Structures are given as structure tokens and as C-alpha cells.
Amino acid sequence: MARIEQVDAYRYRLPREEGMLVDGMVYADERMMRDIQKDESLQQVRNVAHLPGIVRASIAMPDIHWGYGFPIGGVAATDADEGVVSPGGVGYDINCGVRLLRSTLTREEIAPRLESIVAAMYRNVPTGVGAHRRDLRLTGGDLRHVLEKGAGWAVSQGLGRAEDLDTVEERGCIAGADPDLVSERAEERGRTQLGTLGSGNHFAEMQYVAEVYDERIAAAFGLFANQITVMIHSGSRGLGHQVCTDHLRVMGDASRRYGITLPDRQLACAPIASPEGRAYLAAMAAAANFAFANRQVMAHWVRESVAGVLGLAPDRTGIATVYDVCHNIAKFETFSVDGRSRRLCVHRKGATRAYPPNHPGTPAAYRDVGQPVLIPGDMGRYSYVMAGTDRALDETFGSACHGAGRVMSRGEAKRAVKGRSLFDEMKQRGVHVMAAGVATVAEEMPEAYKDVSDVVNVVHGAGIATRVAQLRPIGVIKG
């Protein structure tokens, strides 16, 4: 069996062997590591360590589980000049991510109208496969602007406020996007999907701040006890999926053409400087911008839903963006490695950027405390807000976990809940759920996921992000 070395209470090393160019590094505690070894995700960490140009380590977060090529929860940085880019290190749902909204409302204030607010969100934010709003269908020119400008396009159309962009990763727009490299099929799939939640594990969730662990950082993020927040989890929908599909076909041939030998064909890649590598990154950036715009539009409609039910002007709810972070992306970022500054292509697949205080990539509003790190849990328990640290910058290319991580497949979850009324169970937990179908709720039942507090404890204990606040769900809409 391949070796696993425990470094400390929260770190495990997978030493270099059999063609690995770097070690693997897994963030987990002892109990978690026993569970992680039950699937193939550790082998995927080793496989990623074979990528040409990989720097420092192949990294896995505590929410790691098996994925396509890379494990979900994987982080890998490759040299921008000599390394490769791999679509498997981003995934099919390009820029799947999370936006957190805060408000000036309290749990007590909205309690009498909670079900009405959730119903309004469900009406206004399309959920489920094929759902869309007839009043937002993009023309070809509109879609091109979305792919180029991201969330900024939505704001320019009155679907949000200019200040929203101040607290969005990359201000809601990845540089270098080229809509001409997005296929007609991808555009067709995306044309009616802007502002839609989708299905699976995507959600819009009304929450309240149940616990505050760090008063100073929470105050900087605008969070306080019993405050109402809304978390939106979605991505680039069918457009991003098609972009990944299109470019994976090209990458398989490219790997062979450039003589790249890999232990898993799902790691198909191309040199960053190659025509294939540049084309993928430009198309991926366009899909990422679609996702930023998607979450921006939904945030606007959530703001309108809450205000409408409460009979307030939208500004009177105090709903504003805490942060919006992507967790399926490959981005060029600069880090100090072995004492020198290096430009790297950081693949984060099911991992969240976690920049520290005083970093130029941290929004100005949070420069003293670090970037917000948003960690959604399952719809029955809790989610977390954390803050990035200097240690993350030194060890994980400024990255932390992105969620709870599945422990059951969707099929297993459906079988496990047969005969149970999940809507009633969630209501007993104090969570009002509205969904397009019972099947989606069954697939996403709380038991299908790790307890996200275990994941957060490892990240906090390892020092790669600091625990700030716990958010508990009270209302959820799903596809």
C-alpha cells in the first residue's frame, strides 16, 4: 500500500513515489482520514502530483471526495510558463461558487413572514432543470457582454448595485475571457439560464447568525448575532458544463501530442502556453463570468423578494453582499515559493480562495481582517463564515475548504430516505423547504454530507482559515 505519513493533528503527507513530481498534502484529522481512505480520492491526490510544472504539493482539503480527474477538494498550482492547465482541476460546473448576503433584519423580525419570503424567493428565482424567467432571455449581443464583463454586466442592467462588485472575487470578472471560444451549443444552453439556481446541491438559503466566534472580524464583515443572511450556491449552469465538455475532447488529444504521460486520462491537460491551453483558459474565464453574473442576478431577485414581502423599499432591508467566492476555477495568481515570487495557475476544484489580511487581493473593506471564506453546509444543520490567513498563503496557495463534502452518492441518499417525509423532517428542524421535486431534496438530505463543523474544525485547527461565525438555515429553495 502507498504510504501515508501523519505530519501533525491536521496534516497528512503522501510521499513522492512512482512518477509523482511533488508530495501530496491532505488536511484532515485522524477520524476523517479513516473515512477518506474508503474511496479513490487519495489516489487522485497522487495522480495530480504527476502534472508537469506542479509546484510545492498536490493538496486536498478535509471535504475531499472522489471526483473527475482531480478529487473534489483538490488544489494544485502549476508554473504559468512551464506548467499545464487541466480542465479536470476545475470541473464541469465552472465557477460554481457561493455568495453571502447580509441584512439589517433580525430573526425575530422576519419570523412571522418567513414562509411568505421563502415562497417569494421560490417564485422569483427559477429553480430546477429547464426553469427560467421569461423577462430575462439574452440576445446574442447580451450574452457576449455577460461572458466578457461578468457581474458588472448585470449591475449595468439595473440588476444590482455598483457597490456589490467591491466584495466579489475579482470584482466578478475573470480577465482574458474570449466569447469566440465558447461554442454555439454552450451559448444555446446558457441563453435562458442566467439568474437560475439549477438543481443538485445548488440552493438559496435564508439563515440567521447563530454564533459569533470572532467579534472583531464579524463586525468587519457586517455580521452580528441573530442577523438574517442569505447564501446563494450556484455556478455557470449548462453553459459552463458544455465549455468543459468541449475542451476536454481537445485536451485528450493535446496531452498525447505534447508527450504528456499521466496515470489517469481524466487529468488530460495541455501546456498553459499552448494554443489548446490558452483556448481553454479563455473559454473557462467566459464561463466563470457567466457564473458571477448568474449569482449577481439571483442576489438582486432575492433582495426584491424580501423587500416585497415585508413591504419595504429594497434599501430598507439593508441587504448587501458580504462576499462572493468561486470554488471551481483555474486562475493566475502570484505567490512566494522558495523565496522568490512566481506566477502560478492555481486550480481550485471544490476549494475556496482564502487570502489573508493586508493582501492586495483581499477587498479593501476587509484588508485589516482577511478575505471572507464561505463554507456552506447541508440544509439541515449549519454553514460557516471564516477568514483567510497568512498560513494559507504559505501552505495552500491561499486556499481553504469549500463545503461539507459528500459521504453518500445521490443514489444512496435516495435509497436511504425511502418512506420518509423529508419536508416534514426539515420543518421539525425549523427549516422551511421549497423545491421543484422530492428527488432533489432526497439527494441533498443532511446525512448525505459530512458534518461541516468537522471540516471547519480541521481548517481552523490547521490555521489556514479562522472561524468567524456559524449560520443556521431557516428557509431553503432548491431545484
The residue ranges of the chain whose pLDDT is under 50 are none
pLDDT for residue 1: 52
Q: How many domains does the chain have?
A: 1
pLDDT for residue 298: 96
- Say which of 241, 402, 432, 460 is annotated catalytic: 402
Question: Comparing C-alpha atoms, which of 68, 79, 7, 48 is closest to residue 333?
Answer: 79
Q: What is the CATH number of the domain that holds 220?
A: 3.90.1860.10
pLDDT for residue 372: 98
Q: Which CA distances in Å does 467 have to 99, 132, 214, 266, 386? A: 18, 36, 7, 35, 4
| Under 8 Å between Cβ of 330 and 283 | no
pTM for this model (two decimals) = 0.95
For residue range 60-78, list pLDDT tens digits in order.
Answer: 999 999 999 999 999 999 9
pLDDT for residue 419: 59
Domain that holds residue 48: 5-478
In angstroms, the CA 200 to CA 479 distance is 7
Is 432 catalytic? The answer is no
pLDDT for residue 254: 95
Quote the cell numbers at residue 34. 479513516
Quote the cell numbers at residue 453. 463543523
